Amino acid sequence: MEQTNNKKYKPKTHHNHHNHNPSYHHYNHQNLFNLHHHHHHQYLFHHSNTTGFNFFNNQNIYPYSSPSPPLLPLPPPYAAAGPPVFTTKPQFHKPTWKQSHKKAIEVIPTTINLSMAIKKDDLKPIKDSPPQPPSSPPPSPPLTVAFRPDSGGTEGTIIPLLANHFLVKFNPLQQIYHYDVEISPKPSKEVARFIKESITQEKPTVFSGGKPSFDGRRSLFSSIKFEKDRLELFINIPVQMGSQPISESRDENEEKMKLYRVNIKVVSNLNGRDLSKYLSKEKKDLNSLPQDYLQALDVVLRENPLRECTPLGRSLYSNALGGAKDIGGGAIGRRGFFQSLRPTQQGLALNVDLTVTAFHESIGVIPYLQKRLAFLNDLDEKKTRGLTVDEKKEVEKALKNVKVFVSHRETIQRYKVHCLTDETTEDLWFRDRDGVNLWVVSYFKEQYNYDIQYRNLPCLQTSRRRPCYLPMELCVVCDGQKFLGKLSDEQTSKILKLGCQKPRERKAIIDGVMAGPFGPSSGHQAEEFDLHVSKQMTKLNGRILRPPKLKLGDGGEVRDLFPSRHDRQWNFSGSQVFEGTRIGRWALISFGGTPEQKSNIPKFINQLTHKCQQLGIFLNRQTVIKPQFESMQLLNNVGLLETKIKKIQKLANNNLQLLICVMEKKHKGYADLKRLGETSIGVMSQCCLYQNLARLSSQFLANLAIKINAKIGGCTVALYTSLPAQIPRVLTLDEPVMFMGADVTHPHPLDDFSPSVAAVVGSVNWPAANKYVSKMRSQTHRQEIIEDLSSMVEEILHDFVRELSKLPKRLIFFRDGVSETQFQKVLQDELQAIRVGCSRFTSYNPQITFVVVQKRHHTRLFRAETVVSDENIPPGTVVDSVITHPKEFDFYLCSHWGVKGTSRPTHYHVLRDENEFTSDEFQKLVYNLCFTYVKCTKPVSLVPPCYYAHLAAYRGRLYLDRSGGLSGFTRGCPPKTAPLPKVLENVKNLMFYC
């Protein structure tokens, strides 16, 4: 609130007198200006010679001398007094102000004076690359992405499939005119689209009778060239009050309008010849994908869905896909659909898939907080209670950046929560238009006849520089906002269930979207731009690769195993792990648990050691000290936890190989336990929950045993026929190969400052290639390119030499988590970094294959049977034709068996291949590696180097989250990246991150 020196109203905090000018009133600053000058504009419009286009000077349209607005909402003269009514807005429908009476909309088009020549610069694309300074050296030419080495693979059994790609036929000669749209004052995307629709309906001559498509930002695409290359027009948009349009019978003084200026100028003229050439099966020319034309078509196909759906990223959400499901904690789950144009071997295709996302529930802020924060459950009974310091922090965290609207008056105004006020509502006051100081509580009683109930709660503050204060009980969470908070295990389970459809149901939903009234091909836009979108999924043939023969141990002897089950899962069935370890010195510590649960510990130790013995792993039946029983509270105190573990380590003569930790439930102290053990004390740990000890199933014990074995340096399984024997043309026994995996994990979406964590792993045994060392680094916040890759590669190469006494002849580098828009930069920067790391060894220049691995894509494959099966495609299904890239070396491989929902194949895109693999060779290599993952007895969905890199990056994130991710941060300057604590020598060469 704006403050004065009046001691009677002395606030608890101090604010700047001049900058404290928020929009906490009936209308925002711009609205007040428009209302104040509304009749003046109408006079200009109606009393100018409007027999054609008119041009108004900006000074007439936007005088900037306006009085400071009041800080609290003024009651409208027609507002009825009474308590507010909490109502949620109709969900996922067009806002009611869009259905305004047409007479309320005024479009006043004008053009630049024809004598004013259009400058050449005005016709350039919006984003021009800055010119290179004369002194800078010319940039090195970008590396070209690898072409497909052949016409695709041939090995495997043919399986007919359907893919959720829909063929899009376009006319290469169809001209698309790209216009730049600038609207001021800058509106939201929703309002911008409404302005465009209003112009199309009210003044179709502006667009020369065409129906252009608009992205809601700056780009407008038309199939018809406008008569003028530049247009300037003004449009009045009614500011509606509540759910009903402004009544025509209302007094003119009460009609609320907002004026926007719209500048439109031509940017470029596009056609589809380059895209047609790119998609052709002609020679492998080096022309790049014409992104501008592809972007235009993408905007065209999103135009109609956007009329009825709520956009979120590349997806659109609608209640027509199954409504909303309450997942608890103030969140609801909603279904939507993803759509994106992709260049493929069959031509241009539209990828459409079902998506599910959590949204904030649109309810009052107080009931919303009660759902999210258990400590507020007593608010209804204790309306006079306030918030403690810790509680206030939690409330502020829950509401940060959430948009709300007020319920005590009718308005379309939306506010984004910035923080909470320092004062309670009872202690807040403000100065009204007349300079009179008013208490917030008194104001609402006098103007709205409403008694503030929760007077000891703070208000919501909506801005830092120009704050406006809103009492919590009068605010409602806006609908359609993605829930950015961390979902609980229960919420995650519910949201996954909402999106977990068997293949038949998922296909039916996608087909329904394509045939529905808001699908990509609905409306008239496709026809307007001469597009034809198929409503049938793409038919193609995949191939089922043969699984590799595996080898296990059998009392020191090798025993072979062929995964013959339909899901390719296997079990030990009398066999043992390929390489078992010996664990003589270990201890057990318990956190929490009931007396009954604790009584199971001796039985657990006995059965675990027995299971280890069966699997060829030696785990001493006697712990170095008797089991330690501690409360869960110990996990809350890092200092005491460290002291306890150090004491156990000391009792084991500082040579403890393993610490098994049994917990009553999941706890954030898990991160401290791992960080302390691996970076401070040097103890490997394995955690499990008491609930699993109640049954002590053979499966649980076996899983625990192979995890322990892998961490201590053992090996679960190996390929019976070595990789050199399977791919002799490229791989040999005496020329070792190192498989590397890399991933970057970023902080939570609501975290604006914490570092990202990069991890790189590398195999250090050949030809088995199933033991990996890891390197982790923190780096710049949300930086995707791995900053210290050269050093990490160098360190891993040293580890490789330590194990095999020679450097690898070939490097196969699998890079996870990269989107297609980043391919070129990742290849350019990270391939160079790998070479720099290798150059630190004399005359060392290995052949490198650089592969991007994508799991977060939306291509799904279904069995193409007469009746769509509810059974997923089998493990080993590979697709490298029809829906893959028209020229580049990529393929989809489903290496796992999908137990729940619909399987998602992994997309492998080879960006560089100096080893010159054929399609069959590289696909076989990747599929074989998927059987060597150390933690389970089935092939995994992701090539293991990427899996391990992901786990290592997550472990680094745990280190940061519990040790503090920032150092020296001050607002206004970028945060300094805190380094990760170093993993100790006796731990770092083991697979501790598994």
Per-residue pLDDT tens over the stretch 655-687:
999 999 999 999 999 999 999 999 999 999 999
Is the domain of 627 the same as that of 746? no
CA distance to 229, 537, 873, 895, 970, per residue, from 504 (Å): 50, 13, 12, 20, 53
Here the CATH number for the domain that contains residue 399 is 2.170.260.10
C-alpha distance across the termini of the chain, in Å: 53
Chain segment 242-260, per-residue pLDDT in tens? 332 222 233 333 447 889 9
Q: Which is more confident, 982 or 695?
A: 982
160 has which bridge partners?
A: 541
The continuous run of DSSP H or E covering 215 comes out as none
Is the domain of 704 the same as that of 740? no
Separation CA 476–CA 368 (nearest Å)? 9
* Per-residue pLDDT, 123: 32
Here the CATH number for the domain that contains residue 694 is 3.40.50.2300
Amino acid in the structure at residue 575: S
Least confident of 236-245, 393-402, 606-615: 236-245
| 640 and 628 Cβ atoms separated by less than 8 Å | no
pLDDT band at 440 (very low <50, low <70, confident <90, very high): confident
Across the range 499-508, mean pLDDT stands at 94
Which DSSP category does 992 fall into? T
> Among all chains, which residue has been given the structure tokens 């994106």?
340
Residue 505 has pLDDT above 90, yes or no: yes
* Residue 313 three-state SS: coil
Is the domain of 735 the same as that of 708? no
162 domain-assigned? no
Among candidate residues 631, 617, 615, 620, the one with its CA nearest the CA of residue 656: 620
Q: Mark which of 712, 746, 773 sits at the end of a domain.
A: 712
Separation CA 454–CA 492 (nearest Å)? 33
176 has which bridge partners?
A: 270
Separation CA 553–CA 905 (nearest Å)? 31
Separation CA 557–CA 541 (nearest Å)? 42
Across the range 946-959, mean pLDDT stands at 97
The continuous run of DSSP H or E covering 302 comes out as helix 291-308
Strands (E), 425-536: 429-431, 437-439, 458-461, 469-471, 475-477, 531-533
| 776 and 759 Cβ atoms separated by less than 8 Å | yes
331 domain-assigned? no
Is the domain of 727 the same as that of 696? no
By the 10 Å C-beta count (0-12 exposed, 13-18 middle, 19+ buried), 934 is classed as buried
Separation CA 837–CA 813 (nearest Å)? 13
The pTM of the full predicted model, rounded to 2 decimals, is 0.85
Is the domain of 763 the same as that of 797? yes
Amino acid in the structure at residue 967: S
**HEC readout, 357-400:** EEEECCCEHHHHHHHHCHHHCCCCCCCCCCCCHHHHHHHHHHHC
Is the domain of 899 the same as that of 922? yes
76 domain-assigned? no
Q: Mark which of 478, 509, 530 sits at the end of a domain.
A: 478
Is the domain of 743 the same as that of 788? yes
Is the domain of 708 the same as that of 722? no
| 758 and 744 Cβ atoms separated by less than 8 Å | yes
780 domain-assigned? yes
Separation CA 298–CA 949 (nearest Å)? 34
820 domain-assigned? yes
CA distance to 70, 364, 444, per residue, from 84 (Å): 21, 11, 11
* Residue 894 three-state SS: strand
Backbone angles phi, psi at 308, to 5 degrees: -115, -15
Is the domain of 697 the same as that of 770? no
Amino acid in the structure at residue 859: T
Is the domain of 764 the same as that of 698? no
* Per-residue pLDDT, 18: 40
393 domain-assigned? yes
Chain segment 580-600, per-residue pLDDT in tens? 999 999 999 999 999 999 999
How many separate domains does the chain show?
4
807 domain-assigned? yes
Is the domain of 911 the same as that of 766? yes
Here the CATH number for the domain that contains residue 855 is 3.30.420.10
pLDDT band at 107 (very low <50, low <70, confident <90, very high): low
| 576 and 614 Cβ atoms separated by less than 8 Å | yes
Residue 131 has pLDDT above 70, yes or no: no
How much is the mean pLDDT over the chain? Answer: 84
177 domain-assigned? yes
Chain segment 17-45, per-residue pLDDT in tens? 444 433 333 334 333 333 334 333 333 33
Is the domain of 886 the same as that of 746? yes
Amino acid in the structure at residue 273: R
**Token pair for residue 698?**
């053979």
Q: Mark which of 678, 712, 746 sits at the end of a domain.
A: 712
Among candidate residues 355, 310, 514, the one with its CA nearest the CA of residue 860: 355
Q: Domain of 697?
A: 580-712
Percent residues over pLDDT 90 in the chain: 70
Burial 730-767 (b: 16+ CB within 10 A, else e): bbbeeebbbbbbbbbbbbeeeeeebbbbbbbbbbbbbb
* Per-residue pLDDT, 390: 95
Which DSSP category does 147 fall into? B
